[in-house]
Chains A and B, each alone.
Chain A
């Protein structure tokens, strides 16, 4: 239940502005790939092109190919909704639906699409998803309470449970820990380690230690200056990127000499 992503010569635009230039990268199935780089270098923008969330913003468009197990996401006649149901996403700030209970938040992907599901199946799905997000023991007695009453870290794990409840092939995470404290961050990182047994995980992070801890492969993005497009500088095994990178810019960044 996981697919690989191959990106070929991808250019990302906001209107006429070229935000990310010429990215070619292969993301392996059942592994964790981390995107690192300074602020504004386009790693989040690039991540959002991987499930066509990018085009939600007015004027945003892409050129190039993103292949999910060989199928082009940007091919003619591809419905972005189909793409997004296969490639889930977790956002920077936890965003559970405030009108829904914890249980309904987990079932949101099913219920919002008006799919019929029996109560028994729903119970199984809720328990499996919350267990998958390491949240079950903390919320099993208050599933009917609103999701917004949870702590920030719990809310973020609820969002992960919500994402895996629709059984995606790939999970994208856009700085999932940047609004969380170290304990909650640790809980999410442990969770990412477990998720990669089943899913392809792509994570954007500002925290290089986090990239080193959780990822198998790391991609370094950089930007030449304000107004210039972001570029993929180097991608490789996390160990190689952090200990023996090919590019000078990568070495400078991971060793803390800039950025």
Chain B
């Protein structure tokens, strides 16, 4: 048998001609960066403008080169790629910027001795003045605020999850899209849009009327937060319960299992991972609320571990007051250092909650595989 193989040409075949070389994007990027720096040098150099100008030059250069060599279809593809990647970078910019700023400003506060373990009780402007003028360590910490945030959020979760989950179960399993179910769905949607300060005012007014004027405790704040949490929990649980296949319910009915047992033992376990991560995200959503807590729990500088009596601090209100009313008005730096430290702790809390949601989702997810 004679060999009829055509020799493989190493460089250009008929099928790959008219393509940009592999190094094209990098070459254009380098050229765009240089040209961008040159243009910016004329008007005064700054990094932000350099990035913008280079990005525009890169997109124009790559697309027009591609149009010249490869034709309009490939050029459009390159243009779309540039737009998509550009939008992605723009979307990412604020996030990275926020995390960077909080890390840079927050780490000194976080590392100050006793920051996590002491409260602001007895910390006065005198100490802050000393810290700035004589280099003494910044004292005072967020222990009371951390405790308050955790207790208030926990209580809000304890209130919201049963109410929200049971509402979702009613809507999906019993409502049958009747008038009541549609009314509930409508009002849950309305509740989702309630401004958080209104929720705070509601809780404060409610407790003023029921318990007595001026009632400000952690529990009032928890009620305000649960007004914000319930619609989120209802919505996410409802979606999760809806995607449980009807066949599983029918399979349980066909075994002679009652409806409520089917819901508890088949429907909820199947949906639990989604419900749990929805609840965690709802917690993450309210943990940073400031306004409703200010009007319901007031503000405290000392440790109060009883949610049912007395004013209570929380991380967001701690940040708010430290920035707005520094402990020492003459030297606000120690206060702002503490505020950034608290902000960092708050972001870490939210991040941990999000990771927790993923972990919970993975642990509870229906197992597959052989």
Residues of A within 8 A of B (CB): 51, 53, 56, 58, 81-82, 84-86, 88-89, 91, 93, 95-99, 108-109, 111-114, 142, 145-146, 148-150, 159, 162-163, 166
Is the CB–CB distance between A146 and B367 below 8 Å? Answer: yes
Interface residues of B in 157-179 (CB under 8 A from A): 176
Indicate with 1 or 0, residue by residue over B248-277, a CB within 8 angstroms of chain A CB atoms: 111111111110011001100110000000
Residues of B within 8 A of A (CB): 176, 245, 247-258, 261-262, 265-266, 269-270, 366-370
In the A-B complex, list the 4 residue pairs whose CB atoms are closest, starting with the nearest. Answer: A85-B256, A98-B366, A89-B254, A109-B255
The residue of chain B having its C-beta at the shortest distance from the C-beta of A59 within the complex is B176
The residue of chain B having its C-beta at the shortest distance from the C-beta of A162 within the complex is B255
Q: Given known contacts A95-B247, A97-B248, A113-B261, is B255 in contact with A149 (CB within 8 Å)?
A: no
Q: Specify which of A53, A97, A163 lies most central, judged by the most chain B CB atoms within 10 Å of its CB.
A: A97
Q: How far is the CB of B304 from chain A (nearest CB, A)?
A: 42
> Mind listing 20 A-B residue pairs with CB under 8 Å?
A84-B253, A84-B256, A88-B255, A91-B254, A95-B250, A96-B251, A97-B270, A98-B248, A99-B270, A99-B366, A108-B255, A112-B252, A112-B262, A146-B366, A146-B367, A149-B367, A150-B370, A159-B251, A162-B255, A163-B254
Give the CA-CA distance A159 to B251 in the complex, in Å.
9
Is the CB–CB distance between A51 and B254 below 8 Å? Answer: yes
Is the CB–CB distance between B366 and A53 below 8 Å? Answer: no
Residues of A within 8 A of B247 (CB): 91, 93, 95
Q: How far is the CB of A53 from chain B (nearest CB, A)?
A: 6
Residues of B within 8 A of A146 (CB): 366-369
The residue of chain B having its C-beta at the shortest distance from the C-beta of A80 within the complex is B253
The residue of chain A having its C-beta at the shortest distance from the C-beta of B262 within the complex is A112
Residues of B within 8 A of A86 (CB): 256
Residues of B within 8 A of A53 (CB): 250, 253-254
User: Of B254, B261, B265, which contacts A88 at CB under 8 A?
Assistant: B254
Q: How far is the CB of B27 from chain A (nearest CB, A)?
A: 51
Is the CB–CB distance between B256 and A82 below 8 Å? Answer: yes
Q: How far is the CB of A180 from chain B (nearest CB, A)?
A: 16
Give the CA-CA distance A148 to B252 in the complex, in Å.
16
Q: Given known contacts A93-B247, A159-B251, is B257 in contact with A113 (CB within 8 Å)?
A: yes
Is the CB–CB distance between B257 and A112 below 8 Å? Answer: yes
Is the CB–CB distance between B255 and A166 below 8 Å? Answer: yes
Q: How far is the CB of A33 from chain B (nearest CB, A)?
A: 18
Residues of A within 8 A of B254 (CB): 51, 53, 84, 88-89, 91, 163
Q: How far is the CB of A51 from chain B (nearest CB, A)?
A: 7
Residues of A within 8 A of B176 (CB): 58
Is the CB–CB distance between B253 and A112 below 8 Å? Answer: no
User: Of B245, B250, B252, B368, which contacts A108 at CB under 8 A?
Assistant: B252
Is the CB–CB distance between B368 and A98 below 8 Å? Answer: yes
Give the CA-CA distance A123 to B369 in the complex, in Å.
23
Residues of A within 8 A of B255 (CB): 84-85, 88, 108-109, 112, 162-163, 166
The residue of chain A having its C-beta at the shortest distance from the C-beta of B364 within the complex is A99
Q: How far is the CB of B243 from chain A (nearest CB, A)?
A: 12
Give the CA-CA distance A34 to B270 in the complex, in Å.
34
Q: Given known contacts A88-B254, A91-B251, is B370 in contact with A145 (CB within 8 Å)?
A: yes
Give the CA-CA distance A88 to B254 in the complex, in Å.
6
Is the CB–CB distance between B256 and A166 below 8 Å? Answer: yes
Residues of B within 8 A of A88 (CB): 254-255
Q: Given known contacts A97-B266, A112-B262, is B256 in contact with A81 (CB within 8 Å)?
A: yes
The residue of chain A having its C-beta at the shortest distance from the C-beta of B258 within the complex is A81
Is the CB–CB distance between B261 and A112 below 8 Å? Answer: yes
Is the CB–CB distance between B370 and A142 below 8 Å? Answer: yes
Residues of B within 8 A of A114 (CB): 261
